[in-house]
Amino acid sequence: MKFWKEHAALRVALLIILFVLSLFLVIAGWKMTGELKGLGMMVLGTGTLLIALAIYNAPFKDAK
């Protein structure tokens, strides 16, 4: 996407926020061993990491 190439500072800030949030969710969920809520937090944190990865890779897509 052209948007992410033009707004590099926004992309970096969003990546940092998403990364920290996802690590917090995974670690907090990990501490809730045996609870379904903890599993949900870890899955949400992993999904957030995948979203951050997609945003990171967005500027490198080839427009063919």
Does residue 14 belong to any structural domain of this protein? no
Please state the pTM of the whole predicted model. Answer: 0.79
Does residue 13 belong to any structural domain of this protein? no
Q: What is the Cα–Cα distance from 23 to 30, expressed in whole angstroms?
A: 10
Domain region containing 37? 2-8+19-59
Does residue 53 belong to any structural domain of this protein? yes
In the chain, at which residue ranges do the beta strands (DSSP E only) sit?
none
The sign of the torsion formed by the CA atoms of 39, 44, 48, 53 equals: positive
Residue with token string 């052209």: 2
Tens digits of residue pLDDT in 10-47: 889 999 999 999 999 999 999 998 889 999 999 999 99
Domains held by the chain: number: 1
Chain-centroid distance of CA 61 in Å reads 18
Residue 63: is its pLDDT beyond 70?
A: no
